[in-house]
Chains A and B, each alone.
Chain A
Amino acid sequence: MKSERRSVTGFVELNDIRLAYGPGGDGTLALDGLSMTVKKGEFAAVVGPSGCGKSTLMKLATGLIRPQAGTVEVAHKEVDGPVSMAGMAFQNPSMLPWRTTLKNVMLPLEIVQPHRRRLSRERAAYEALAEDLLTVVGLKGFGDKFPWQLSGGMQQRANLCRALVHDPELLMLDEPFGALDAFTREELWQVMRDLHAEKGFTTILVTHDLREAVFLADRVFVMSARPGRIIVEREVSFPRPRPIDLTYEAKFNDIVHELRAHIADARAAA
């Protein structure tokens, strides 16, 4: 049955996932019967009521945890351990305070091959690469500052750089803009939009902000209350590049309202 479901189009595929926490996996059921497919280069967003297991989904897709039932495939390979190549960013920027911002951004290069091998020989080139990335997110000249000398928004920009510096094929974002003020958040949406357009990595964004999901994503997945599964899959076909003003237009808000209704239903059903 598992093999039947394999498709060649999906870059990330979750098939009929069941996952419970607790000893032996018989504790709280977090996910049950969850299936979703994200195509290569696609920007997917996952929304849902709080506590529905959105963040668990992130760990599943990167192989940090294993499901009790069902299969996870990334790049047409079954995931049986950490995927070794995904960029990740969380709401908490988790910068290392003893490293400068540039050194923080370059941390993945010290882990992921082939960069790890090359880093000491080609340090200057890699530093230039990281500096470029910092410039793109608006942190030009802040590379030698320590993270605690940066504001929350700036740390989050650096966090995005760290998630992308090794040119990952898969980017996982867990509410990365959740703790920021509204203006910074909209600015970072546009940064994210441009980075995705330029580099074309496959992205899964977990968020509770429906406007964020609709603005950034090609496809929005709505999860049910716990135990979580996908109840609605909504294509968002606004042409790219999307201007930020789009978020104030009626057709945009129609989709937001539609998603909001689905989540309200999911909460009521719980």
Chain B
Amino acid sequence: MTDKWIKAAPWIWTIGLFVVWEGVVRAFDIAFFILPAPSDIWVATVKYWPVIWTNSLQTLFTTTLGFLLAVVGGLALGLAIGWSRAIYAGLYPLMIGFNSVPKVAVVPILVIWFGIGTVPAVLTAFLIAFFPIVVNVATGLATIEPEMEDVLRALGAKKLDIMLKVGIPRSMPYFFGSLKVAITLAFVGSVISETVAANSGIGHMMLAAQSQFNVPLVWAGLMALAVLGIVMYAMMAWLEMRMTGWAHRSSRG
């Protein structure tokens, strides 16, 4: 009984939210340009489906590309930082400073370099998504048990042996865990860039709809973003379970 309720809970809460939303909009007769009801948003979604679909694909494309770059770059930098304390000491302050800069402030520079469109969106997604991957991979490497390291070093293991046998497998749960965070951040980066400087993508579509006072379409864009975000997160969560099941043993009893 309890298990069933827990399984059903996400659906119940989501549907509940929309029902309450619809009820509130109708009961208080809220104007559609302030807050459209879910039914209005649904109508807009169906009506503008081709536009939403093409722009979603564009956003999905820039997000995925930026995310893949972040995976490659983050993994490489994370391994380098976890490998050497000198690299760690040198790069860490730089990275903290870099991560502190809001990425929306970087978009104008990217536009100067690459013009508006796909490239700044991909790069913004990359810049915002690679940081959690670096930190997580480096943490996994830096927290090798000292006893394990002693055991291996007393056997004559070189640094590379220790990294290959212990460090890298050990950092994989951290890595796959960070992908969930990174993909949602990449998504944020893409949409930011599209909103500021693009001819396509959900962010651009919403901005255009807003200037035409097409509020239901703005909200339909928002819904599309939410759905895409959930789907991408779920894919990464699945990948994580799949790749590093040994680190989640408690949940399997």
Contact = CB atoms under 8 A, between A and B. Distances in A.
B156 A94 contact: no
B166 to A, nearest CB: 7
B156 A97 contact: no
Interface of A: 59, 62-64, 82-90, 92, 94, 96-98, 107-108, 110-113, 146, 148, 162-163, 166, 172
Contacts of A148: 249
6 smallest CB-CB distances across A and B, nearest first, come from A84-B156, A62-B154, A90-B147, A86-B154, A94-B148, A111-B155
29 contacts: A59-B150, A62-B153, A62-B154, A63-B154, A83-B156, A84-B155, A85-B155, A85-B156, A86-B154, A88-B151, A88-B154, A89-B151, A90-B150, A92-B145, A94-B145, A94-B147, A94-B148, A97-B246, A97-B247, A98-B169, A107-B165, A108-B155, A110-B165, A111-B156, A111-B165, A112-B155, A146-B246, A148-B249, A166-B155
B156 A96 contact: no
Interface string B135-148: 00000000001011
A82 B154 CA distance: 5
Interface string B86-119: 0000000000000000000000000000000000
Interface of B: 145, 147-148, 150-157, 161, 165-166, 169-170, 244, 246-247, 249
A98 B247 CA distance: 8
A83 B154 contact: yes
Contacts of A86: 154-155
The dominant DSSP class at the B interface is: helix
A64 B155 contact: no
The dominant DSSP class at the A interface is: loop
A162 to B, nearest CB: 8
A64 B169 contact: no
A96 B247 CA distance: 11
A163 B155 CA distance: 9
Contacts of A166: 155
Contacts of B148: 94, 96
B150 A96 contact: no
Contact of B153 (A64, A96, A107, A113): A64
Nearest to B156: A84
Nearest to A159: B151
A110 B166 CA distance: 12
A148 B246 CA distance: 9
Given A96-B148, A111-B152, 10 more contacts: A62-B150, A62-B154, A63-B154, A64-B153, A82-B153, A85-B156, A90-B147, A90-B150, A107-B165, A113-B156
A64 B145 contact: no
A112 B161 CA distance: 11
B156 A90 contact: no
A148 B249 CA distance: 8
A92 B151 CA distance: 11
A167 to B, nearest CB: 12
A172 to B, nearest CB: 7
Contacts of B151: 88-90, 94, 162-163
Interface centre among B147, B151, B165 (most CB of A within 10 A): B151
A88 B156 contact: no
A107 B154 CA distance: 13
Given A96-B169, A111-B156, A112-B156, A88 B150 contact: yes
Contacts of B165: 96, 107, 110-111
B42 to A, nearest CB: 46
A85 B151 CA distance: 10
Nearest to A92: B147
Contacts of B150: 59, 62, 64, 88, 90
Nearest to A83: B154
A19 to B, nearest CB: 16
